[in-house]
Structure 1
Amino acid sequence: MAQKIIDKGTVVSILTTGKISKPAKALFDAADVAWAQNIPESEFMEREAQEEG
């Protein structure tokens, strides 16, 4: 899945509420795609509310 994301050529960062595997992290790092994992879902909801307001 990580390689498919990289192959799109338009993705510059990945944020997920779950974990990213070590191999996927290595692929993202090699492709200069920033990543963050274990972001609480509430963080996404708060940001969405701020953008709408």
Structure 2
Amino acid sequence: MPQMNPIYWLLMFIFMIFNLILLTTKIYFMKIKYFKLKNKNNPLKFTMKW
């Protein structure tokens, strides 16, 4: 079994974390958008939820 390059592993790890952050922020913004649309007529309810 050949030895893997540690730099390669580091890059993979960083890339993985980056993708995870990207995904979570995407979901978070989608949630905000959804709640804003849902509670457009009631802004107080929106602030209470978060």
Q: TM-score, normalised by structure 2?
A: 0.28
Greater gyration radius: 2
Larger fraction in helix: 2
If each structure's strand is expressed as a fraction of its own residues, which one has the higher value?
A: 1
Relative contact order, CA 8 A, sep 6+: which one is greater? 1
TM-score (norm 1): 0.27
